[in-house]
Structure 1
Amino acid sequence: MTAQDDQPIHDNPTGWVAAHIRTYVETGGKRGHLYQGRRSLLLTTRGRKSGLLRRTALFYGEDDGRYLLVASNGGAAQHPAWYLNLSADPDVTVQVGTDEFPARARTATPEEKPPLWRAMAVIFPLYDTYQRKADRDIPLVILERATP
């Protein structure tokens, strides 16, 4: 999946997220990369039910050239839609600042998750709070650039 699929991209409808995405997109990533003092990226997935391209903005971390995301959904009982979508189709499009590229997503294994989680909790300490209140194991997602 690429953003060049000539399909419209449907942005997250939540007001503040939609405004953040709009700023990011309208400036080609020159604005919006930093949001509330944290680095954010745009993730485009294919809807698992609709087949539509869906875009959201997320805080991210980095590890050895890979991008890290936490599927916290604010500690809600269910996984966020973007996580369910990439679980069904791991080929995604990512924009980090002005750099847009195809990537492949996967959930961190139980063995690799603890140090990556700690790194993400340093970036956004509420992730630990969300995990304590959630009745599910919050997934940590690893994004790796697709090789041409």
Structure 2
Amino acid sequence: MTRRTAVVIVASTRAAAGTAVDRTGPVIAAWLAEHGFDVTGPLVVRDGADVAASLRRALGDHPSLILTTGGTGLSPSDATPEATRELLDREVPGFMEELRRRGLASTPNALLTRGYAGVAGTTFIVNLPGSPGGVRDGLGVLGGVVDHVLDQLAGGDHPSSVP
């Protein structure tokens, strides 16, 4: 069986500068390890060009999954969605729609999440918000579909509902 690999990229200019503590990357990395992934990161970088460069480097290793956290809001420096979108071959908008829907149960700010989910080559990429609650919601959505997504990207067939 091929081992599943994942990369966690934290887009936080303040955490990268050492003036804030990243509270989301370790949570994501632990969740991935619990779900059988070999995890690289969390890699903490400034938002903007550093996120784009980190995404490109990570894709060069062809991981099964890349999860980003942070940089998905409306701040002028929030550029993670744009860096991600330019790398995607196919978008998976339903993932982000469900993430925002779940987040609305806790905060109206969930509507402001601009992240993307999609496929680049054989890698599934998801932008999670930079808040612990947004990460919790995102991992909840991911947990329900990640096995199927990765099976599909590896060429698997849809499970048959007919006996």
TM category (shorter chain) comes to 0.3 to 0.5
TM-score, structure 2 normalization: 0.33
More strand per residue:
1
TM-score, structure 1 normalization: 0.35
Q: Which has the larger radius of gyration?
A: 2
More helix per residue:
2
**Which has the higher relative contact order, 1 or 2, with Cα contacts under 8 A spaced 6 or more apart?**
1
